[in-house]
């Protein structure tokens, strides 16, 4: 048993040593989400997102659903932690990516309803993969390493289109499941426009990191494609947010997070309903 624990700790240390940038983003997620969602919901989001992502990766490396068929090379096995054939860090990273997309969706759309925010979050997470996955395929040229390959390379810089559909699906399941599990109430209307704010910085932090590495390895076409796609997504998202506004109709019951007990108490004292 002690030797097993020592081996596990060694592999965890190897994961941290090989992937420090992943853990920087993970710590940023924990800090941002704790402020935004609270500590308990942050841990729920973390474990739920990791579980959904691990199941999706485990299935994709065997039957090709939902990302398309791909395989990990296993070249870092014994140096970092693997769960089955899946590197631990890879599934773990979906937590901060999903939260970042969720935060940006809530911020841009306000409290327009669970369905709209969840739908947008899945698409925003997929848009992150537009810059992440083509770069990861080229991992041998930067510090990620040659860790995986697609059985049949696709048309978008070697990435199959099924991969992007899979990312949207994982985003919808992750965010949708979290919302369904925590929709015990609703934020006050004046809080709707501020909801998800910490996630916005995380989203654009991830977004800036990947094009920066893309430039570093000299992939100009990939860099320009990612910039153009995200510019279009940015204009569409914020154009939609500006069009619908952040007004809520009196009969709209769909909200995302519980009211703060302190704010409800203040409202009661002031005669609010």
Question: Which single residue is written with the structure tokens 């100009």?
Answer: 220
d(CA 246, CA 269): 26
pLDDT in tens, 99-149: 999 999 988 887 556 888 899 999 999 999 999 999 999 999 999 999 999
Alpha-carbon distances of 2 from 6, 84, 220, rounded to whole Å: 6, 21, 50
pLDDT, residue 80, reads 95
pLDDT, residue 6, reads 87
Question: Which single residue is written with the structure tokens 């952040």?
Answer: 246
Between 267 and 174, where is the model more confident?
174
pLDDT, residue 138, reads 96
pLDDT of 1 strictly over 80: no
**Count of CB atoms situated within 10 Å of the CB of 180:** 10
216-223: average pLDDT: 96
Q: Quick check: bond before 66 cis, omega within 30?
A: yes
66-93: average pLDDT: 95
pLDDT of 255 strictly over 70: no
d(CA 117, CA 241): 11
d(CA 115, CA 202): 23
């Amino acid at each position: 048993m002690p030797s097993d624990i020592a081996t596990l700790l060694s592999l965890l240390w190897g994961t941290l040593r090989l992937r420090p940038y992943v853990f920087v983003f993970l710590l940023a997620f924990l800090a941002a989400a704790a402020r935004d969602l609270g500590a308990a919901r942050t841990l729920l989001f973390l474990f739920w997102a990791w579980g959904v992502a691990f199941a999706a990766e485990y299935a994709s490396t065997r039957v090709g659903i939902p990302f398309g068929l791909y395989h990990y090379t296993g070249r870092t096995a014994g140096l970092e932690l693997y769960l089955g054939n899946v590197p631990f860090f890879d599934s773990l990273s979906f937590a901060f990516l999903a939260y970042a997309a969720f935060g940006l969706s809530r911020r841009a759309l306000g409290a327009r309803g669970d369905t709209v925010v969840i739908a947008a979050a899945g698409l925003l997470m997929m848009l992150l993969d537009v810059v992440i996955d083509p770069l990861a395929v080229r991992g041998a040229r930067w510090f990620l390493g040659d860790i995986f390959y697609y059985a049949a390379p696709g048309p978008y810089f070697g990435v199959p289109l099924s991969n992007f559909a899979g990312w949207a699906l994982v985003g919808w399941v992750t965010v949708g499941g979290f919302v369904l599990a925590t929709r015990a109430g609703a934020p006050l209307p004046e809080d709707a426009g501020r909801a998800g704010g910490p996630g916005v910085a995380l989203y654009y932090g991830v977004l800036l990191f990947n094009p920066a590495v893309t430039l570093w390895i000299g992939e100009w076409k990939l860099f320009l494609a990612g910039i153009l796609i995200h510019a279009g997504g940015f204009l569409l998202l914020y154009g939609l947010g500006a069009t619908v506004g952040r007004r809520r109709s009196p009969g709209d019951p769909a909200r995302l997070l519980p009211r703060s007990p302190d704010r409800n108490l203040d409202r009661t004292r002031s005669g609010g309903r």
